[in-house]
């Protein structure tokens, strides 16, 4: 009986060590994250598939580097030059995520700070290149959407071989020097007023043309009517009118042949 504790102690120690080893071997990866396996013998194998979320079993002497693989956002404020050398400030939101299938390559070649090492320099380079092709007026008004798309395309071309997935770049604000901004706003206002004035002139011209056409049509109608009204037609119409009046119940006296052109003269009770 005295020997049982001596025999049981190694077993207890062994079980305890086994529990520690198992605990060390279980790695839990959060939702929206993935892991890169680092082995003590070979480091990171760039061809290894990333470890998915949930429970993962790895040797206790190895470790797992965790990455967020969901879409993320960084805010960028950049100072760039326009085509005529003016200082422009761009505020942009960059939507990105690491390339899941190449996560091991990303870690081995770029490391955890891949945003600062690759993505941000690429964005700034693309923004300088694109904005340098436009004037402040185009940046402020008509070309903002086109500029945003061009910056996105150029940045994507720079990072797509760097294991980074660029989803979108949104230009939140373009800040110009105050004097330039005021000059552009005055010019845009003048252009708008000029367009409104031209619209009023065109409208007035169309109204005048309409009046002329209506007048010409009325004159032509009167000319045709006058040409068609002969004495015989007028006399026939007078006879028709006399007949209708004679059938009226109102008191009247009709003197036959006493009117102009031989038409009856109608004398009413008034």
Of 261 and 38, the structure prediction assigns the larger pLDDT to: 38
Of 93 and 45, the structure prediction assigns the larger pLDDT to: 93
pLDDT of residue 89: 85
- Percentage of residues in the chain with pLDDT exceeding 90? 28
Q: What is the pTM of this model?
A: 0.60
Using 50, 70 and 90 to split pLDDT, how confident is the model at 119?
Answer: very high
pLDDT of residue 137: 76
Residue 7 reports pLDDT greater than 90: no
Is the separation of the CB atoms in 166 and 187 below 8 Å?
A: no
Which range has the worst mean pLDDT, 89-98, 182-191, 220-229, 261-270? 261-270
**Whole-angstrom Cα distance, residue 44 to residue 65?**
10
**Whole-angstrom Cα distance, residue 128 to residue 49?**
36
pLDDT of residue 191: 58
pLDDT for 231-244, tens place per residue? Answer: 666 566 666 666 66
Is the separation of the CB atoms in 250 and 266 below 8 Å?
A: no
Dihedral of CA 179/180/182/183: which sign? positive
If you ran DSSP here, which 8-state letter would residue 241 be given? H
Rg (CA), the chain: 47
Is the separation of the CB atoms in 155 and 126 below 8 Å?
A: yes
**Whole-angstrom Cα distance, residue 262 to residue 268?**
19
Question: β-strand 72-81 against 87-98: which pairing, if any?
Answer: antiparallel
Helix (H) or strand (E) run with residue 238 in it: helix 231-246
Which range has the worst mean pLDDT, 68-82, 91-105, 189-203, 250-264? 250-264
Backbone torsions φ then ψ of 133, nearest 5 degrees: -95, 0
Q: For 159-179, b where at least 16 C-beta lie within 10 A, e where not — what string?
A: beebbbbbeebebeebebeee
């Amino acid at each position: 009986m005295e020997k049982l504790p001596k025999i049981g102690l190694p077993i207890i120690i062994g079980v305890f060590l086994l529990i520690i080893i198992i605990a060390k071997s279980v790695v839990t990866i959060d939702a929206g994250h993935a892991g890169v396996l680092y082995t003590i013998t070979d480091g990171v194998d760039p061809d290894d598939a990333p470890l998915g979320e949930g429970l993962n079993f790895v040797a206790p002497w190895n470790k797992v580097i965790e990455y967020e693989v969901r879409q993320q956002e960084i805010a960028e404020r950049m100072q760039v030059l326009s085509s005529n050398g003016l200082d422009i400030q761009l505020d942009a939101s960059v939507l990105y995520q690491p390339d899941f299938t190449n996560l091991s390559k990303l870690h081995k070649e770029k490391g955890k700070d891949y945003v600062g090492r690759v993505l941000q320099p690429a964005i700034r380079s693309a923004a300088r290149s694109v904005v340098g092709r436009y004037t402040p007026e185009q940046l402020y008004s008509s070309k903002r959407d086109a500029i945003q798309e061009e910056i996105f395309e150029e940045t994507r071309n720079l990072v797509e071989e760097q294991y980074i997935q660029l989803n979108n770049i949104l230009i939140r604000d373009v800040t110009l020097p105050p004097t330039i901004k005021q000059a552009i706003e005055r010019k845009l206002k003048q252009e708008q007023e000029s367009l409104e004035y031209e619209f009023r002139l065109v409208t007035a011209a169309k109204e005048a043309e309409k009046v002329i056409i209506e007048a010409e049509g009325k004159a032509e109608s009167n000319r045709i009517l006058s040409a068609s009204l002969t004495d015989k037609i007028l006399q026939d119409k007078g006879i028709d009118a006399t007949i209708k009046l004679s059938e009226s119940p109102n008191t009247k006296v009709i003197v036959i042949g006493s009117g102009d052109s031989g038409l009856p003269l109608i004398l009413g009770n008034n």
